[in-house]
Amino acid sequence: MTEGPPDDQRSLIERALGLVTDVRAGEGGTALLMSLNLFLLLGAYYVIKPIREALILAMASGAQYKSYMSGVIAIGLLFAVPAYSAFAKRVPRNRLVVSVTLFFASNLVLFYLASLSDTIRPWLGLLFFFWVGIFNMMVVAQLWAFANDIYDEAAGERIFPLIGVGASVGSLAGSIYGIATRGANVYVMMLAAAGMLVVVAVLSQVVHRREVEREARADTPPPPPPKDSGGGAFGLVFKTPYLLLIAIFTALFTLVNTNGEFMVGTLVSDWASQVEAAGELPAGMDKRSFIKAFFDEFYFWVNGAGVFLQLFVVSRVVKYGGLRIAFFILPVVALLDATLVSIVPILAILRIGKIAENSLDYSLNNTVRNMLWLPTTREMKYRAKQAIDSFFVRMGDVGSALFVFLMADLAGFGVRAFAITNAVMIVGWIAVAWMILKQRTAMLEAQGIQEEADAH
């Protein structure tokens, strides 16, 4: 990457941000706002996520329900993605981002009200799991699409690691909040998350106005809504080889990750049942609170490691190794984890392995996956990205649910069999990642852009 401008052209804040990545003069304000936006969004998600786990895993056969709900979510996305795509092509980006974010914030208020009903409350675990499965894919994908729309290829490679810091720190803050409020009413915490989403919507509008003013000063026309090339979001994915490979990659690595989550959920649920049966639950805790406490601590370590990686590792790996190195670090770690668990399938080992995997996924892998979209068109960013980051992720979850049904429910296989299966699939994950990078290089060459990692 090229060096930043002389210090006297940058603000004090922009020079300080240089500790994380290369920030040029005039870039600091918008980059910080986008980072703050992702901080709040991921913070809200990590307030919500332990609630989701607690509500469904406290149900009888909750781990199985959790896997099967992925199929229900995928069906829901077959309707949600086309609806989002249709809305996206009719409205400017600020109205799209703000409206969708406020819609999901209002849903959390409705869930709180539903929890007051004795009739609905027993089923709220399934309903809330379904909702979170839609929310965490669509809203996070939308905000990263917004970031992709703001930055070009060169600026995005520099700024995305900084924006990712907001996501990582927000995830950690949400986990800390969950630990600090341990024992609090889980339904009241939904209202706190709703308030955070409202602020996300406001900040998105602020960023949009800043960009409109910048474009006006530069005499650049404002960005139009994504054009319609026909065929909808899914048609765009299937007719574009680069996008199709990203879709396959997304489904495959999600399948591996969800299998891992099933293994963790199974071992934790079994452990909680044993502790409950032995009468050894901590004072003031029921099984639901015990499970939530495990996941609060688990996500704390995941997100703490993720913050460290995002602050001090991600930008340097991207700068000196490029995607050709960064893209393969997570699958190598995942392969090592799967191999160890296949040998010794216990929670202590799986917990450490999943902390390593998830912290890399939420920092390095999340950053490089979103960088894949920098050379794409606006239509691809807002419409195809939504389809891939929501529907194809859920198809990976559906694949995992099928494995659970065939291997756990019918065949009675345990955690070791899932670890061996994951190890095999990770080899395919690595092969698809290699093909994506070949397609990306060809796309950049067609646009006359040299990959900056080549200079190192």
pTM over 0.85: no
DSSP string, 217-249: HTT-PPPPPPP--SSHHHHHHHH-HHHHHHHHH
Question: Which pLDDT does position 201 carry in this prediction?
Answer: 96
Question: Which pLDDT does position 11 carry in this prediction?
Answer: 72
Would residue 409 count as lying in a domain?
A: yes
How is residue 363 written in tokens?
Answer: 């920092």
Residue 309 to residue 315: CA distance in whole angstroms: 9
Number of structural domains the chain divides into? 1
Question: Which pLDDT does position 449 carry in this prediction?
Answer: 64
Question: Which pLDDT does position 229 carry in this prediction?
Answer: 55
- What torsion do the CA atoms of 248, 403, 57, 362 make, to the nearest 10 degrees? -30
Question: Which pLDDT does position 327 carry in this prediction?
Answer: 93
Question: Which pLDDT does position 1 carry in this prediction?
Answer: 37
26 phi-psi bin (left φ>0, alpha ψ -120 to 50, beta other): left
Tell me the C-alpha to C-alpha distance, in Å, between residue 16 and each of 19, 24, 28, 318, 355: 6, 11, 10, 20, 30
Residue 82 to residue 75: CA distance in whole angstroms: 12
Would residue 32 count as lying in a domain?
A: yes
Residue 179 to residue 217: CA distance in whole angstroms: 46
pLDDT average per 10 residues of sequence, the chain (456 residues): 50 74 75 92 89 80 74 85 86 91 96 88 86 88 87 79 86 81 80 95 92 71 54 84 95 93 88 85 78 84 87 87 91 96 90 94 90 86 86 87 88 92 96 95 77 46
Residue 147 to residue 31: CA distance in whole angstroms: 9
Query: Interior CA angle at 207 toward 109 and 201, to 5°?
Result: 5
**pLDDT tens-digit series, residues 391-438:** 898 889 889 888 988 998 898 898 999 999 999 999 999 999 999 999
Question: Which pLDDT does position 342 carry in this prediction?
Answer: 94
Please, which residues have CB within 8 angstroms of residue 377's CB and are 6 or more apart in sequence? Answer: 226
Would residue 6 count as lying in a domain?
A: no
Domain enclosing residue 113, as ranges: 17-455
Residue 105 to residue 108: CA distance in whole angstroms: 5
Residue 60 to residue 88: CA distance in whole angstroms: 40
How is residue 327 written in tokens?
Answer: 């893209």
Would residue 213 count as lying in a domain?
A: yes
Would residue 359 count as lying in a domain?
A: yes
CATH number, domain containing residue 103:
1.20.1250.20
Task: Give the Cβ contact number of residue 135 at 10 Å.
Answer: 25
Residue linked to tokens 């005039």? 26
Spatial contact of 390 and 138, defined as CB atoms under 8 Å apart: yes
Task: Give the Cβ contact number of residue 99 at 10 Å.
Answer: 12
Amino acid at 394: R
Would residue 4 count as lying in a domain?
A: no
Would residue 110 count as lying in a domain?
A: yes
Would residue 9 count as lying in a domain?
A: no
Query: Residue 58: helix, strand or coil by DSSP?
Result: coil
Task: Give the Cβ contact number of residue 352 at 10 Å.
Answer: 13
